[in-house]
Structure 1
Amino acid sequence: MGFKIPFLARSQAEGDGVNGILVEIKSGNTQLKEKFISDYKPFVIKAVFNATGKRVEVENSEEYSIGLLAFNEAIDSFDFSKNKNFFGFSEQVIKRRIIDYSRKNRETQNKVFPFTYFSDEQSNDFEERYLTSDFTNEFSNIEVKEDILIFKDKLRQYGISFRDLLTCAPKHKDSRVMCIRIARVIARDEKLLNKMEKTKTLPIQELLKVINVYRGTLEKNRKFIIALCVIMTSSLEVMNGYISQTEEGGDANV
């Protein structure tokens, strides 16, 4: 559905354009600012819908309120020397603020995305089911989808798939905690991490010099440990929640 330019913006666009309106607003014309925000509420609604994938109910939507505040923020922070497209810029601001809101909601509810959800015996395509189902509504819809796609892409570089994680993840909590602690050693050691990222495999020889663990343990859990390192060294906060919760109360030592 196309977006029609409101009368205010259309009439002034014939002169200075949207940037001219923004210049006047930034010079202190608060009435013009209020009118500009009011006229572009349909744009905000569309941006919120694009960010959440959900129908926006103006009267009862927290996301819509956040969208309006973000649009106001975009007006104030728009830099003509760095950006040419105000509406592209403002949509990104709206999206970021909604993601922030979703993250805070998730933290409040203390929900964690478990690795075990990669198991779905009744579906031939985990990604299709995940990305199109209502299951994502139980989590932070936008953020989880983005995390999953980023995670998938990073794992592919190591030749690891989601289904590999299902088959290689340790069954016992103590073993999972041990793998987490091994992964932390790698994530905190620049040389080990660089070696792993360069060779796209676990630096087993180097690890054996700094941790007290059997070689067979490293080989058996290689893919799982690599996946944990990927999470720890990326901004995958949803899955970092899994790591933190798994680690709590664990008694395995490295």
Structure 2
Amino acid sequence: MRYFVHISYNGLQYNGWQKQLNVLNIQGVIENALTQIFKVPVFINGCGRTDAQVHASQFFFHMDIEQPWDFDLIFRLNKLLPLNIAVYDIIPMEGLPHARFDAVQRAYDYFLHTYKDPFLNGLSSYYLLENLQWDQMKAAVALLPLYKDYRAFCTSPDKYEHTLCYVRSASLMVDEKGEKMRFQISSNRFLGKMIRIIMGQLLKIGQGTLSVDEFESHLISRKTPALITPAHPQGLYLSKVTYPYLNLPPRVDFSAVLQKHADTNWKAL
């Protein structure tokens, strides 16, 4: 029987989702917990491959379990898993749907703060910057849904069959003091480090070292910038995954500090 499992995780201590030898990864930790519970090897497939130190406020994986169980699997998993990984739902699925290949839309949030704050450490990316040109950054963000090929904003474009990404929405918000920023983007797919590269380019625009026209020229020409500077990973969250047959709201908000600002102080640019 195939099951989809709905989880979230704080990725700060992990070298990404994907299982790798000799490094701490989320997939491996979850597989070890499932194997311990069922006493047979259990392998899982995730809905994506988040980078090292990247978070997910919503994430799905699928697993195939032949034997039925007569205990509270969610409770046992949460008891075995570390506090930075949480399981919310285990959903039996008809047929063999795929957690990664069947997803039709993924949404990410990127949080950034411009002053040193110990309570945002690891939850938002810290950049000691002043007087960012928010209007220019907003103009660049507005261009993203107008283009389909993101070859220029990818670390290894040649490893993909194609570099088409159908960005459905992109927005930039800032708090009232201009000290915290939230970038949101949704698409059917994303390329390697694509969001962090875009965010790095937006920061250059905000500092006045890159123009909006230069930013757009890369989208038009599909040529990679001479210098790629991906933004820090700690502020990036996979925040929503949607399937044709499954569209659950996230079970958790962002950290209390971030969410308070998201609810009360953010304003759209």
TM normalised by structure 2 equals 0.27
Using CA pairs under 8 Å that are at least 6 residues apart, name the structure with larger relative contact order, 1 or 2.
Answer: 2
Which structure features the higher share of strand residues? 2
TM normalised by structure 1 equals 0.28
Asked which structure has the greater CA Rg, the reply is 1
